Amino acid sequence: MTNPLLDFSGLPRFAEINNDHITPAIEKLLKDSRATITKVRGNETAPTWQDFVQPIVDANEHLFRAWGQVSHLNAVMNSLELREIYNANLPKISQFHVELTQDQRLFEKFKQLRNSEEFNSLSSARKKIIENELRDFRLGGAELPPEKKARFLQIHEELSALSSKFSDNLLDATNDFTLLVENIDELTGIPEDVLQAAKGAAEKDTASARPGWQFTLHMPSYLPVMQYADNRYLREKMYCAYVTRASELNSDASPINTDGNGDNLPLINKILKLRFEEAKMLGYENFAEVSLASKMAIAPKQVLDFLGDLAAKARPYAERDLQELRQFAAEKLNLSKLEAWDLAYVSEKLREKRYAFSDQEVKQYFPETKVLPGMFKLVENLYRIKIVSTPESGNIQCWHPDVKCFDINDAEGKLIGQFYLDLYARPTKRGGGWMDDAIGRRRVEDKQTRNSTIQTPAAYLNCNFSAPVSLDGKLRPALFTHNEVIVLFHEFGHGLHHLLTQIEDLGVSGINGMEWDAVELPSQFMENFCWEWEVLADMTQHVDSGASLPRVLFDKMLAAKNFQSGLQMLRQIEYALFDLRLHFDYDPDSNKTVLQLMDEARKQVAVIFPPEYNRFPNSFAHIFAGGYAAGYYSYKWAEVLSADAYSLFEENVADGLINAEAGSHFRNEILAVGGSRPALASFVAFRGREPKIDALLRHNGMSAT
């Protein structure tokens, strides 16, 4: 156990992991997995679950748990040295994965098991795992002739490297931009806590050696400037830097970029060509068909029709939203032309005027010290669980001092799962919010005693919020905007999906084996509670006065809930349409560029058009460095499911919105079953029928109800 990456007895030993541990651990685990596969592959007896599938699961779980820790550190504690080691080992992991899915003898053994008498006696979860494996073998190139398998492997290695480079470029470009403002008169409108953070950043930056206020492209700094700064030139400068990240317009800026190429557009073109080549090799017309093979949606046209229908319903509301913005900007702010860098600012001014409150006012009522206990209380009451800080006796090791760890226990105090919470933005951490699994739930058998135990799951929950700041010599807790509270609930919903599973087979426990366009159901479901008075009343406290959120202010927030919902929905549809068309009917070898396709998607559905220098695709990490290629539509697809699921709670509100009976039903039929059955079957089991779009439209103010 001298190498902490080889210890699987409990939670990761982050405090002990150093870069020298990574390569030896990965190479040993790869060797062990290959040895196990060679052994079961050479077994001449008929394959069974216990003698064939289980040994592969055991060996690979160790490999991917260790690699998961390395990947997590690369995402949250990125450094040049760690990045180089990560990228050196990434091709080894990619090669092993493709080797596995291309192994013809393993494929034949899975088919043999599928057709055996034992298959009929297996649990539904294990049957689903075998069916998923057969599908993944076909998608992994197992049926390709030997001469094509080598090229298929090469494609996947290149795609992994390109995605990693895309993410690195984006992080570098975000970190590389700083703007020092030396005159306080240029910063009117910006909230005091944001100014304090900017002043602290300037003081810590020894490179500038000048007093002032330093702003960055990280969300806690960038967004308040765009939303509140009266200085239009400042907003324009920040906007321009943000929308040209990792593009040809700033690709030479990074001192950490060792190859001097920080432009993501060439990477995008290479990624698209390789995905198209992969699809053709597998017998598909395009990569969108490959992506949808493991999703709820059946074909690209079905998704296009879904997006088109939603866009048609949202467009009148978006046009109304835009007209109101333009009129307000001209009449009240003397802005004859509304530019991209004015949108957030004018929107906030209009909201303040119409609803008599601001995001900054609301933010004072959401200190972290009250939000977290309030969120925990909600899920405790819904799901009959208890959340407590992990005891010191648990010897928890975290990767950063700001990280917290919590236990989830059942009603009898028995441990169900654990999660890490990493809430604050920092330069070493990639942007956005996300959940990832640290350990998956499964039943583990002791080979000596034949006794079995349940391996409790663990999750990483990551956000990029503002850290606590010192104001007038006093440290104030982190304050969250209401939108940030929604993000927190969203990621916690993903975490609960992973942690509350009752499935004992790793391949379909939690989010594993789940159709990707349904994986957002539990996360978006949780967002709905952020708009309920009986929830917010327990999780708000003014940072100075200690008063709870006034009901009158909540009513204003509720009245403004669907403020610009048309514009927001069209924006998501625009991104989803661009993503799908990139992987469906776009030819990367044609004369049309990715940016031209982006413009086409905008013209098809959007009502707002950014300046020509906008390079949105260069930062679209969801589809070029994440798992959403030809799947970004999943956010709207799953929102139909989540809104409809939540409507069951609304229909039974007479029994109390935080209804433990309905909560248990959701836990048992959605969260607990994970990917052990089709997502549609789980939804029908919960709701008693197939999903309807009505609740989504109603929640977005696009319904007469």
Task: In whole angstroms, give the CA distance from residue 350 to residue 345.
Answer: 9
Task: In whole angstroms, give the CA distance from residue 234 to residue 238.
Answer: 6
Is residue 447 predicted with pLDDT exceeding 90?
no
Give the pairing of strands 452-455 and 442-445: antiparallel
Q: To which residue do tokens 């907003």 refer? A: 235
Task: In whole angstroms, give the CA distance from residue 264 to residue 437.
Answer: 28
For residue 417, give the H/E element and its range.
strand 415-424
Residue type, 584: F
Is residue 251 predicted with pLDDT exceeding 80?
no
pLDDT band (50, 70, 90) for residue 260: low
pLDDT band (50, 70, 90) for residue 704: low
Go through 490-512 and write b for each residue having 16 or more CB atoms within 10 A of its CB, e for each that does not.
Answer: bbbbbbbbbbbbbbbbbbbbbbb
Residues 6+ apart with CB under 8 A from 701: 317, 561, 562, 565
Q: Which two tokens stand for residue 199?
A: 């002043």
Q: Which two tokens stand for residue 407?
A: 């236990």
* Overall average pLDDT of the 18-30 stretch: 98
| Closest CA relative to residue 345, chosen from 331, 359, 355 | 359
The pLDDT value recorded for residue 550 is 96
* 576-608 pLDDT per residue, tens: 999 999 999 999 999 999 999 999 999 999 999
Q: Which two tokens stand for residue 161?
A: 């490297």
Cβ atoms of 503 and 125 within 8 Å: the answer is yes
The pLDDT value recorded for residue 261 is 78
* 474-483 pLDDT per residue, tens: 889 999 999 9
Grouping H, G, I as helix, E, B as strand and the rest as coil, residue 367 is strand
3-state helix, strand, coil in the chain (%, to 5): 60, 10, 35
Go through 295-326 and write b for each residue having 16 or more CB atoms within 10 A of its CB, e for each that does not.
Answer: bbbeebeebbebbeebbebbbebbeebbebbe
Give the pairing of strands 415-424 and 452-455: unpaired
* Overall average pLDDT of the 218-237 stretch: 97
Could you list the active site residues? 491
Show the domains of the chain with their CATH numbers. 4-143 (1.20.1050.40)
The pLDDT value recorded for residue 257 is 47
Cβ atoms of 478 and 466 within 8 Å: the answer is yes
CA 695 to chain centre: 24
What residues are paired with 420 via a beta bridge? 405, 460
* 321-343 pLDDT per residue, tens: 999 999 999 999 999 999 999 99
First to last CA, the chain: 61
Give the pairing of strands 415-424 and 458-465: parallel
pTM for this one? 0.94
Task: In whole angstroms, give the CA distance from residue 435 to residue 462.
Answer: 6
Mean pLDDT estimate for the chain: 94
Burial class (CB in 10 A: 0-12, 13-18, 19+), 570: buried
Distances in whole angstroms, Cα of residue 556 to Cα of each of 371, 479, 563: 20, 20, 11
| Closest CA relative to residue 369, chosen from 513, 233, 478, 525 | 478
Is residue 254 predicted with pLDDT exceeding 50?
no
Task: In whole angstroms, give the CA distance from residue 260 to residue 429.
Answer: 21
Residue type, 209: A
Task: In whole angstroms, give the CA distance from residue 663 to residue 657.
Answer: 10
How big is the CA angle at 112 (ends 106 and 117), to the nearest 5 degrees? 145
Is residue 171 predicted with pLDDT exceeding 60?
yes
pLDDT band (50, 70, 90) for residue 657: confident
The pLDDT value recorded for residue 446 is 79
pLDDT band (50, 70, 90) for residue 255: very low
Task: In whole angstroms, give the CA distance from residue 253 to residue 513.
Answer: 41
* 68-97 pLDDT per residue, tens: 999 999 999 999 999 999 999 999 999 999
* Overall average pLDDT of the 171-196 stretch: 95
Grouping H, G, I as helix, E, B as strand and the rest as coil, residue 328 is helix
Grouping H, G, I as helix, E, B as strand and the rest as coil, residue 126 is helix
The dihedral built from the CA positions of residue 291, 87, 598 and 276, taken in this order, carries a sign that is: negative
Helices (H), 333-454: 343-355, 359-363, 368-383
* Overall average pLDDT of the 623-644 stretch: 96
Cβ atoms of 368 and 193 within 8 Å: the answer is no
In this prediction, what percent of the chain has a pLDDT beyond 90? 91
Q: Which two tokens stand for residue 628?
A: 């959403």
For residue 443, give the H/E element and its range.
strand 442-445
